[in-house]
Amino acid sequence: MTTCSPQLTFDELGTPLRDVTFCVLDLETTGGSHRTDAITEVGAVAVRGGQRIGELSTLVDPGAPVPADVTRLTGITNAMLAGAPPLGAVLPSVLDLMRGSVLVAHNAPFDTGFLRAACARHDRPWPAPPVLCTARLARAVLTRDECPSVRLGALAGHFGCTTTPDHRALTDARATVEVLHHLLERIGNLGVQSLEETLQLVKDRAPHRPTTAQRRRRHLADDVPSAPGVYLFRGGGEEVLYVGTSGDLRRRVRSYFTAGERRRRIRDMVAQAERVDTVVCAHALEASVRELRLIAAHRPRYNRRSRNPGRSWWVAPTSEAFPRLSVVSAPREGALGPFPGRAAATEVLDAALDAVPLRRCTIRIPLRNPSGTPCALHELGHCAAPCAGLQPPADYAPAVGAWHDLVAGRDDAPLRALAAAVEVRSADGRYESAARLRDRLAALASGIDHGGTLAALAALKEVVGARPDGHGGWELAVLRHGRLAAAGNAPRGVRPMPVVESLRAGAQTVLPGDGPLRGAPPEEVRLLYRWLTSGGTRLVYSTPNWSEPARGGGPWRAWAERARAAAHRTGDRAPDEPARSA
């Protein structure tokens, strides 16, 4: 018996089909179920690189009579099986031939089902080889017009095989070998060259199989490196169609041409691609940041995020004698945010007006001689009517100051007042009103907490972080005013501090801009903050010292969440207020 290669390992680049050993198997049975030793004959052929390297053929005593109709189909009689070895004696040889191979069979679930059941009954471990079904492969490659049936006999006739199937195990196995080679030749014309691609082709259902246009463009991945970074699909005229990131660029880019991509828009993109450019990065953080920047710069039409790259919303006071709050898309001093959508910003604006006595009207009030008419809010005691001259600018200014102190985390008195109002309404039995105010408090506190932490990071002139790379080394990043200024690695065995100093010396110069985030894109600041505060990242250097607002919204957001949980349990109780920061 021929010795087979060790068990196959599937790496990122794929296993070339010419290097794969296929064990092509066929079984004849009595027609019984998997629960009995119904196998009457085993035929197997081992092939590699188009060459036959081993065969196995034997009759098997099933321990039961062969039905007459099965005898008429296969020609195997009870007399032929007299004296044949039992399945328990044959099984070790079959498993030895399979080991290290890809198991191939026509209608493979039938044959593998009998073999797995036989292993279980005879206390043999199932080797769990990769399985390739030639019937399913044929249906994936051949159209119904070309070959209406994928029966073994029909396929052998279609391809003009020299072996005609006759329902005997070895003959049918030899015919399956020929059919397999013809099918592999056909998929080679589609650009499928590896075992992984072949198995995926069989696995994918028809609507999700890669198109011929996709496969013929797989050469675009030939020069892509196996490294972390960003990839750009380009179409005609150097247009950037799509930008993505991956820890292994080669593996990810190849998947667009070989895997069953289910997104129609991505299939359309691949069909138009003419080139793939890559930017190799030090680690995943740098790749993610560069992806954000490239999407913002090119706005590729196949990236959903590129429709509004970097778009965010803020709640900010207007610039007038009697400022009011408005939702804006350009941050400025005193703005609260960022918020991902206008609706979220509007919700926080409404909550802020419950906490801070700023006017709710949208009219522009002149500094001198206002001549408006007090509205209903004045009558209800919710507005001092500066529009009618009933509140001078000096009396209105403390409300504006309260807003700035709240956003900056200097004073959380407005949040304490809202929390007290929630408790009063709950104690009075106004549970629905209390729940609405509680949720608005949670939205406001969350916005203040989130905005304050991002603003604190963006205010720092320089921060250096180091995260374990999982292999004994470090991933390093230099941040300046909320932007990634440099990235690098200190592999295991390399002293990290000299690498840190080198990165700092060569890092990009970042000049701070206007607004709470100093001009940095909100998505980039969020990404850097998550990296610095998770995954075991260590703070190596910070100037000035990194600190966050003492009276930010974090404790009050947690209070609102506890209040919501308490309401679910009791229907009316609110938790104690959080301890105030010193």
Which one from 158, 167, 181, 382 is the annotated catalytic residue? 167
pLDDT higher than threshold 70 for residue 261: no
C-alpha 21/C-alpha 266 separation (Å) is 34
For residue 290, the model assigns a pLDDT of 96
Percent above pLDDT 70 for the chain? 89
Q: What is the rounded CA–CA span in Å between residue 230 and residue 447?
A: 32
Residues recorded for the chain: 582
Q: Is 167 annotated as catalytic?
A: yes
Closest CA to 387 of 403, 399, 402, 375: 375
pLDDT at 9: 37
Burial of 32 (0-12, 13-18, 19+ CB in 10 A): middle
- Which residue did the predictor score with more confidence, 22 or 186? 22
Confidence check: pLDDT of 110 > 50:
yes
Is the Cβ–Cβ distance between 46 and 5 less than 8 Å?
no
Confidence band of 474 (pLDDT split at 50, 70, 90): very high
pLDDT band for 12, please (50, 70, 90 cuts). Answer: very low
Comparing 95 with 572, which gets the higher pLDDT? 95
Enter the pTM of the model: 0.69
pLDDT tens across 134-146, in order?
Answer: 999 998 888 888 8
Cα distance between residue 152 and residue 144, in whole Å:
15
Q: H or E stretch including 485? A: strand 483-490
- Would you say residue 516 has pLDDT above 80? yes
Cα 145 from chain centre: 39
Token digits for 340? Answer: 């991902």
pLDDT in the model for residue 196: 84
| Residues 161-177 pLDDT 10s | 999 999 999 999 999 99
| Cα 320 from chain centroid (whole Å) | 46
Q: Which amino acid is at 572?
A: D
* Cα–Cα distance, 400 to 398 (Å, whole number): 5
pLDDT confidence of 37, banded at 50, 70, 90?
low
Ranked by mean pLDDT, the top range of 4-18, 135-149, 248-262 is 135-149
What's the average model confidence in pLDDT over 361-365?
A: 86
Nearest to 337 by CA among 190, 522, 171, 60: 522
Task: Specify the range with the lowest mean pLDDT, choosing from 175-179, 285-289, 341-345.
Answer: 341-345
In this structure, how many other beta carbons lie within 10 angstroms of the beta carbon of residue 121? 15
- CA distance readout (Å), 351 to 82, 140, 400, 415: 89, 58, 15, 10
